Structure 1
Amino acid sequence: MYKLAFACFLAGMTLNVQAKVDPSQAARLGNDLTPQGGERAGSPDGLIPPWNGGITRPPAGYQKGMHHPDPFSNDQPRLVIDKNNLAEHADSLPAGLQELVRNNPEYSIRVFPTRRSASAPQRVYDATRTNATQTELISRGNGVEGATAGIPFPLPQSGLEVIWNHIMRYRGDQVRTYTNHAAVLQGGKYSLLKRERDILFTYGQPGLSEKDLNNTLLYYKYRVLSPAALAGTSLLVQETLDQILAMRKAWRYDRGERRVRRLPSLAYDALQPDTSGMATADVVDAYNGAPDRYEWNLLTKQPMVVPYNSYALHQKGVPYDEILQPAFVNPQLLRYELHRVWIVEANLRTGFSHPYHKRRFYIDEDSWQILAVDLYDKKGELIGLQESHSINYYELPAFFSTLETIYDFKRKRYFVDGLDNNEPMYDFDVELHPRDFTPSALRREGN
């Protein structure tokens, strides 16, 4: 019934670049819709509760600099899905998650009570409502015009608009992190690579106008801290909003050569440096960059079992060996919940190459965070699964991933990024400036 109603809604919409809505529709934000465009009401069966503001303040005893304590630590699973009852729940599971269970009979999915914890600052809500009546897609959908600070399309009418909501969602103003990533090979062998990362989110900064953005979404930089063989290597990215108008720029500092080199391309299917060839450039943050190489189709919106409120996976002191099991992330540390998600399918355009010819995205209605992605090859075969295990960083507040995973079903391996359990916690108060994200700054820091 839900799918039918949504299909009727889509049939009445004109799916073109005209995305802004009239004020009467925008007035729904903060009323029957959440301030960012989700449905405020719960589901008829009661499994999805109403949204009541999400987490708006840290739990008692929390201090900045701590790993975020689990506000739902007393919850118990209401359902466990495994090989024995997988078929019974297949309609509510991403295809990739079903395949993970089939490939690993010992894997189980613990489904907890749904907690709609996502929230954002009031200024982001206010900007989102303004954006609803003035934001449009430009450059054939490869850019956005008329948006500042908030979600650009809180009442989306196309798959492209949903993806732009993910790309432009609020994740704080700036952050410094210390995290590890690992390529876990068949059999379970892995090595950790530790990085210090700085991100300055230009879009979303308080007080900035669209003109002030100068087509810049964010600045990104990392420095490898270990292993010793790679320590000192660093990468810099200047990320544009419209990457057709101006492509992202990237530079890499090589410790051995002691020089900065401009990278000819760090986008689309180009392999990320230092990831053992297991991660393309566009899988960071589940999806990033220009959307021009795919056809984007908005399929439906429906309740699905997805990773959510992954605080147990994030807790301080958990050994990385306990997290990284030979074939998958330890399911006893994972939390899944039933949430309404937008389902968007991306199909590779003719003339382009990518290991992922089709992707199916599951995007949270409350935060616009991509929570899961089914990955298909050119033959239409399901070859992988991405998951974003997310929490509310309640000192901001903002909801986004703490650990990202990519499963490679063919090679029986997986990649994880964001291991932070035994590192200093994210610093959202670090002072960063655009001058810190230039090739000369990269060179200076490397010497």
Structure 2
Amino acid sequence: MAALDATEIARLGQDLTPVGAEKAGNASGTIPAWDGGLHSPPAGYKPNEDYVDPYASEKPLYTVTAANMDQYKAELTPGYQAMLQKYPTYKMQVFPSHRTAALPQSEYDEIRKEAASVSLAGNGNGMLNYQSTSVPFPIPKTGLEAVYNHVVRYRAGGYHYYPTEMVVQANGKFTPVRRDVIAVMASAMGNPEPNRLYYYLGKVTSPESVAGSQNLVHEPIDQTTESRLAWTYNPGQRRVLRAPEISYDSPVATSEGLRTNDMIDMFNGSPDRYDWKLVGKKEMLVPYNTYKLASHSLKYTDIIQADHLNQDLIRYEPHRVWVVEATLKPGQRHIYAKRVFYIDEDSWAILAADLYDGRGELWRMQEAHSLQRYDVLSSIHVSDVSYDLQARRYIVSGLENEEKRAQFGIKANLKDFSTAALRRSGR
């Protein structure tokens, strides 16, 4: 539970990167040393246009299929193994590893500064002495510390984006659900309330059957003293209502039961229903530098297929990840009895997760499509997908290929996230 001591902090920027990852590469050479990451745009990049893929000319080193998966089994999560076994068309194209994650120097300075004081709250359900660092626990001692690094990772202060969600049926049919979302970290605002981590306001814009519904969330830092505050605007009733159900395993209203609220961003919200174990660090194959998938030249029909996404568009690389296991506490309720998360050591983003049902069987698997946004020095992923291995359906969230481009570093005030603002937006 304790903050880092001076000896541990001195390792940041030495044998460890400024965010706590191993600076050296691996023994086999498949994972390179971190050399500062991708901290400036490559040639040809223009603001407000698609990201230039710095690795577009690279060819896959190899492709993992059901026929050869045993050769790579040690680097595959149980979820990927299940997908390869279940769907003959599923494959994983593996490319050279590039450790592109990089943050602004001001973030590195804040990480080093706060590492000496931030600690977990008494029962782990929150943080003490947290101010604004994007990596509160650069040398994690517990599973919860690693997960909090994911929850508060750097997002350029705040962003306005237009994520699209699709529930894909077994035959490949889908209907896009479009949203207009603003999310801002409280530390980036001039007047945040006490004990606030971030503010979120999301509005469904289509299809017409659900357009106009909105959610507003004020997320606490320390959830031992205060639980999540959430409201919803119902366009049929034209009313703003408190919405305590926007948490834990309650389903996202538009997800047809395939996505719980705490699956958003791979994991979010209070961790108090689980016991968390830091299993250790492993070399795994994970989605990374998925610039091809982010292209606005793609249509959703190019990306979405029956059974799974178009795997020709997804790039996998070997990287070191922290493995964190969450097991449901005795007496607690959640549809997932166990969850295993795979957290990138460089960006602290959860890149994959395996979700188990009450019988101990693998039920769903998640993956997040990561890339380094070199214009704002943030590794916010472009989308994530959850495959239901029992129902042969899946849900993909966050795609923006046919939408307006996201805006980062936006400015906001507390009044922008008030219930009055929610009501006005509804009208």
SS at match of 1:285: coil
CA distance in 2, matches of 1:364, 1:264: 31
Give, as a single letter, the amino acid of the residue that structure 2 aligns with 1:31. Answer: Q
Q: Which residue of 2 aligns with 1:48?
A: 31
Q: Deviations over 1:146-203 (max 9, x none)?
A: 2332211101111111011111111111111112100111221211001110011114
Contact residue 228 and residue 244 of structure 2 kept, 8 A: no
Give, as a single letter, the amino acid of the residue that structure 2 aligns with 1:162. Answer: A
Contact residue 189 and residue 414 of structure 2 kept, 8 A: no
The Cα shift of 1:371 comes to: 0.4
Q: 1:32-181 maps to which residues of 2 (within 5 A)?
A: 32-150=15-133, 151-181=135-165
Q: Aligned pair in 2 of structure 1 residues 67, 434: CA closer, same or farther (>3 Å)?
A: farther
The Cα shift of 1:130 comes to: 1.5
Give, as a single letter, the amino acid of the residue that structure 2 aligns with 1:227. Answer: P
Q: Which residue among 187, 190, 206 is the counterpart of 1:226? A: 206
Q: Which residue of 1 aligns with 2:422?
A: 442
CA distance in 2, matches of 1:67, 1:94: 31
Q: 4+ runs of 1 displaced by more than 4 Å? A: none
SS at match of 2:352: strand
Q: Which residue of 1 aligns with 2:253?
A: 273
Q: What percentage of residue pairs aligned between the two structures are identical?
A: 41
Q: Deviations over 1:57-104 (max 9, x none)?
A: 112232332222211111111111001111111111110011011000
CA distance in 1, matches of 2:141, 2:244: 35
Q: Which residue among 337, 348, 358 is the counterpart of 1:378? A: 358
Q: Which residue of 1 aligns with 2:372?
A: 392
CA distance in 1, matches of 2:138, 2:193: 21
Q: Which residue among 180, 184, 189 is the counterpart of 2:168? A: 184
Query: What runs of 5+ residues in structure 2 fail to find an aligned partner?
Result: none
Give, as a single letter, the amino acid of the residue that structure 2 aligns with 1:176. Answer: H
Contact residue 196 and residue 221 of structure 2 kept, 8 A: yes
The number of residue pairs the alignment matches comes to: 426
Contact residue 63 and residue 93 of structure 2 kept, 8 A: yes
CA distance in 2, matches of 1:302, 1:339: 8
RMSD: 1.4
State TM-score, norm by structure 2: 0.97
CA distance in 2, matches of 1:347, 1:69: 41
CA distance in 2, matches of 1:272, 1:446: 19
The Cα shift of 1:400 comes to: 2.1
SS at match of 2:276: strand
SS at match of 1:401: coil
State TM-score, norm by structure 1: 0.93
CA distance in 2, matches of 1:351, 1:389: 35
Give, as a single letter, the amino acid of the residue that structure 2 aligns with 1:44. Answer: A
Contact residue 127 and residue 148 of structure 1 kept, 8 A: no
Q: Aligned pair in 2 of structure 1 residues 37, 406: CA closer, same or farther (>3 Å)?
A: same
Q: Which residue of 1 aligns with 2:346?
A: 366
CA distance in 1, matches of 2:424, 2:189: 30
Q: Deviations over 1:211-244 (max 9, x none)?
A: x661111110111111112222211111111223
Q: Deviations over 1:340-382 (max 9, x none)?
A: 0000100001112212110111000001000000111111101
Contact residue 224 and residue 230 of structure 1 kept, 8 A: yes
CA distance in 2, matches of 1:401, 1:432: 22
Q: Which residue of 1 aligns with 2:315?
A: 335
CA distance in 2, matches of 1:123, 1:263: 36
Q: Deviations over 1:2-29 (max 9, x none)?
A: xxxxxxxxxxxxxxx22x1211211110
Q: Which residue among 228, 239, 242 is the counterpart of 1:259? A: 239
Q: Which residue of 1 aligns with 2:276?
A: 296
CA distance in 1, matches of 2:323, 2:237: 46
CA distance in 2, matches of 1:148, 1:243: 15
Contact residue 69 and residue 315 of structure 1 kept, 8 A: no
SS at match of 1:399: coil
Query: What runs of 5+ residues in structure 1 fail to find an aligned partner?
Result: 1-16
